[in-house]
Amino acid sequence: MIRASRTVERALPGGVAAVGDLSRRGGGASVEHKSHQSGRDVDVFYFAVDRDGRSVRPGDTMLRFNAEGRAVRWSPAHGVRAPARGVPPYRFDARRNWAFVRALLTDSDAEVQWIFVERGLGALLIRHAAESGEDPALLARAAFVMHQPSDAEAHDDHMHVRLYCDPADRGFGCADRGPVRWWKKMWKYMAPPFGRDPGVPTEDGLEGLGAAIRGELPAVLVGGALTS
């Protein structure tokens, strides 16, 4: 997370996204989460900007964003009252939020299993990335790992990042839950070293990705019983 944050700061200086819940120091059950038990899960407040496009610092309370990226209400922690003041006219910062996701997915020392986000916000990120000319292979991976969970709130106020177990931790009991790694499902669409076709994904391959590159809502952000 630190490396990803530094990458965002180098590319787009001035943004701040607070870190929320992690795991207990020694691991184990969490009062407020089904996950966050092994140090592989972290909640990150979304980067936001004001109506003039200037980055804003997060407060103690998260904000919920609608599918268009507009802040619509407060999202206080359990047992905490929402601020008495009105919701500020902030917007979801697609540039910095995508830069953060991109940094996570391209980090060679940590492998992301899932990034839980509300489906509309996930679509904003994919659309921004496509319009920015990102590599279709990276878009494909992002569209697969970003998902709205089915057993929790929509994650319209923060992203929940989950990493795969580090190989060194498996001997201590770390066990991955959920579907297999993304490329085992998507390999036929990908360029080497992940896929079978040389060069960029084929036209048929991009069609099979739910037209994510054309800015449509990726199929992986629409449904599925995936738990957070």
Kind of pairing, strands 41-45 and 48-49?
A: unpaired
pLDDT value, residue 184: 52
CA distances from 205 to 118, 130, 180 (A): 25, 16, 20
pLDDT value, residue 216: 41
Dist. CA 83–CA 86, nearest whole Å: 8
pLDDT at 208 over 70: no
- With vertex at residue 34, the alpha carbon angle to CA 31 and CA 38, rounded to the nearest 5 degrees, is 90
Please enumerate in sequence order all residues whose Cβ is within 8 A of that of 53, keeping only pairs 6 or more positions apart, or say none: none
Dist. CA 70–CA 65, nearest whole Å: 5
Which pLDDT band, with edges at 50, 70 and 90, does 83 fall under?
Answer: very high
pLDDT value, residue 90: 97
Which pLDDT band, with edges at 50, 70 and 90, does 15 fall under?
Answer: very high
Annotate 90-129 with DSSP letters as a single string.
-EE-HHHHHHHHHHHHT-TT--EEEEE--HHHHHHHHHHH
**Do the beta carbons of residue 198 and residue 148 sit within 8 Å?**
no
Which segment of 32-36, 157-161, 177-181 scores lowest on mean pLDDT? 32-36
Which segment of 3-7, 129-133, 216-220 scores lowest on mean pLDDT? 216-220
pLDDT at 130 over 70: yes
Rg (CA), the chain: 18
pLDDT value, residue 41: 86
Specify the amino acid at residue 70: R
Which pLDDT band, with edges at 50, 70 and 90, does 32 fall under?
Answer: low
Question: Which parts of 46-98 are beta strand (E)?
Answer: 48-49, 62-65, 71-75, 91-92
Of the candidates 125, 115, 135, 133, the one whose C-alpha atom is nearest the C-alpha of residue 43 is: 115
